[in-house]
Amino acid sequence: MSIREIISSVDPEKVLMPELENHFRDDSYLRPYERELKRRYGCFTKVMKMMEDHEGGLDRFTKGYEYFGHHVTPENGVIWREWAPEAEGLFLRGDFNNWERVTHPFKKLEHGKWELYLPPNADGTCPLAHQSSLKVVVVTKHGELGDRNSPWATYLKHPDNNFQYHMVFWNPPQKYVFKHPHPARPDNMRIYECHVGIASSEGKVADYKNFQHNVLPKIKELGYNTIQIMAIMEHAYYASFGYQITGFYAESSRFGTPEELKEMIDAAHGMGIFVMLDIVHSHASKNVLDGLNQFDGSNTCFFHDGPRGVHDLWDSRCFDYAQWEVMRFLLSNLRWWVEEYYFDGFRFDGVTSMLYHSKGIAHGFSGHYDEYFGMVTDTESVLYMSIANYMLHKYYPFMVTVAEDVSGMPGMCRRVEEGGQGFDYRLGMSIPDMWIKILKEMKDDDWNMSQITHTLTNRRYSERTIAYVESHDQALVGDKTVAFWLMDKEMYTNMSVTSERTVIIDRGLALHKMLRLITHSLGGEAYLNFIGNEFGHPEWLDFPRAGNNSSYHYARRQFHLPADNNLRYKSLNRFDRDMNLTEEKYRWLIFKHQYISCHHEGDKVIVYDKQSKHGALVFVFNFHPTESYADYRIGVEQPGKYKIVLDTDAREYEGHGRLDHSVDFFTYPENWSGRMHSMKVYIPSRVGIVLAKCD
């Protein structure tokens, strides 16, 4: 039975789902959609049973890389298998046979599978030399012969003067052996979103070794406990930022070898850093000669045919998740990156595109539940994501998965058994949109405190959110970094400590810190920063392409800036570090209780407190551009003595040093702003402070 037949055969009335009530208790608005939630879960359980009955179970089904692709046999031969259902024939060519096209045919098996065995050489050595180049020759229905790369290829490179990628037989005599185990998943994730190629001040493609030796120590010092690495899966076009994948099982050779990537990840684990991969299973490159597209000569191998198989905005192909071999390929791909490279988690790209038949194009989401549980939702891709998350968490207890979804699909971060898709976190994508809109369109006097607090806290109960001021999306050419929105061209002339501290620079430095602190502490249960933006990177990100004369000038991160004591970037960098270290000490990301006691529009003041077994914290922000307030009364829930533990105005952060940190704050037994107690604070203009209750 096909997956589509399974989906159409599910009767929601016969689906037992006792844990669904847990979801209804947290969100009663879901109850009218009980039938649809049961139908989805019924699809999940039926497909899982089919895997158990006909594929040897979930574990075996999701290790397709052990069967497909090339493998060295115990006697030193090579066995090679492919899935090419519409092909008339397959051959292997390469360095080993002087690139003869039809001397080494594959044997046709059942269900569109093909197999080739290469015996060892006469001297017992492997018939394929380490790092030799290869191509699969596909004979199409029309009798045409075309060179292709195996979808299961583990290493791809383009030879000199040739932009087409070749498979490289990677069989080193000494494979890298990991020294460190997977670290425990942090419950207060502070994520450093990064890209290996741009992680250098030089105008070039940086490599894994540079990242390991020069960047990982910076990340550790800054207090981030997680890295989210972009563009690792092989992509022929560097300027695609890693989102037009041509090799799903191959790490990007432009950054180094598979063993060098393993060593880099192992080094991160040795520092206690959790390592996540930006996984792209929402679409694939349209490239035919070096990608998956038309691998067997047909338009339907791996992808939908017709309009459903094309993403118009991304000019890419969309997977057909209802094909068994596509499901095997993608689920196995997830396990490959964990088993082979020791990745600890995944950030799933383009989830909104997967969820809906519209691919999210021109699809406005008002938040009404009919938009999520009607015919617009693609059950096949929902099923794939549910199985993927179930599988990853079943076999890897350390696993963390993140959904990049702008639509707000309910249940995205609830367990599959509860009617969810099983992700651990979703990205709080409305937060950076809010900040950019405010900076672009509003005068400082018009900032709306209620709008800010609403956007920062507007997330689904019991579903964790990753908050961020800006990610790679905001840093790309066509937009500006937040620092650039704040300070623009003055960053080139007035960021020296010896130059005039202008009104624009003063405002920019203050707000850069405030936006990060309020987002970090109020916007979610985890925090993310894009590489370089912690110190106010002055320029956008643009990869070498025809439109910029193939320049690397903007495809780099200027780490020399915060290292220069004569520049103000060092102070923003220092604040980012201390903000993370303060969170690590007080762990505000995991506080279960938070209460906004003040969002005063006239005063431009926001006050909230957080409480847990780790203590009590009070956050006070004054966004007013000119007014400072002495003896400003704020509400406090826990009585006692409080002290300043973080201050955006401190001189070491290029502030004015207007607050005396030796002064303690004491509460009064008077109700205020909905809290049981109150206290008075001095809060200068454009300053954010964190107060911690003393033991």
Q: Catalytic residues, which ones?
A: 349, 404
Cross-sheet strand order for the sheet of 107-108: 69-72, 78-83, 113-118, 107-108
SS3 of residue 611 by DSSP? strand
CA 151, distance to chain mean position in Å, is: 23
Distance CA 95, CA 124 (A): 18
The two beta strands, 605-612 and 615-622, are antiparallel
The DSSP secondary structure of 183-228, one letter per residue, reads PPPPSS-EEEEEEGGG-SSSSS---HHHIIIIIHHHHHHHT--EEE
Residues 260, 596: Cα–Cα separation, whole Å: 48
**Pairwise CA distance, residues 290 & 606, whole Å:** 54
Please give the Cα distance from 388 to 393 (Å, whole number): 9
Half-sphere exposure of 313 (CA within 13 A, CB side): 9
In 3D space, the residue among 672, 686, 669 whose CA is nearest the CA of residue 609 turns out to be: 672
Q: How many residues does the chain have?
A: 695
Task: Round to whole Å and give the CA distance between 211 and 213.
Answer: 6
User: How far is it, in rounded angstroms, from Cα 25 to Cα 18?
Assistant: 12
Task: Locate all alpha helices (DSSP H) within 205-358, ordered by sequence.
Answer: 208-210, 216-222, 258-270, 324-341, 351-355
Count CB atoms within 10 A of the CB of residue 627: 14
User: Within a 13 Å sphere around the CA of 594, how many CA atoms are in the beta-carbon half?
Assistant: 23
Cβ atoms of 215 and 553 within 8 Å: the answer is no
Q: How many C-beta atoms surround the C-beta of residue 614 within 10 A?
A: 14
What angle, 0 to 180 degrees and rounded to 10, lies between the N-to-C axes of helices 569-586 and 503-522? Answer: 20
Amino acid at 299: N
Q: Which amino acid is it at 495?
A: M
CA distance 572 to 535: 5
Q: 424 with 415: CB under 8 angstroms?
A: no
Please name which of 559, 457, 516 lies closest in space to residue 653, comparing C-alpha atoms: 516
* Angle made by CA atoms 405, 408, 412, in degrees to the nearest 5: 75
Cβ distance 222 to 534 under 8 Å? yes
In angstroms, the CA 558 to CA 672 distance is 47
Query: Which residues are bridge partners to 118 per DSSP?
Result: 78
- Alpha-carbon distances of 551 from 519, 539, 546, rounded to whole Å: 34, 14, 9
Q: CA 218, CA 215: separation in Å to the nearest integer?
A: 5
Distance (Å, whole) CA 253 – CA 622: 49
- How many C-beta atoms lie closer than 10 Å to residue 10's C-beta? 20
Q: What is the 3-state secondary structure (H, E, C) of 542-572?
A: CCCCHHHCCCCCCCCCCCHHHHCCCECHHHH
| Cβ–Cβ < 8 Å for 633, 672 | yes
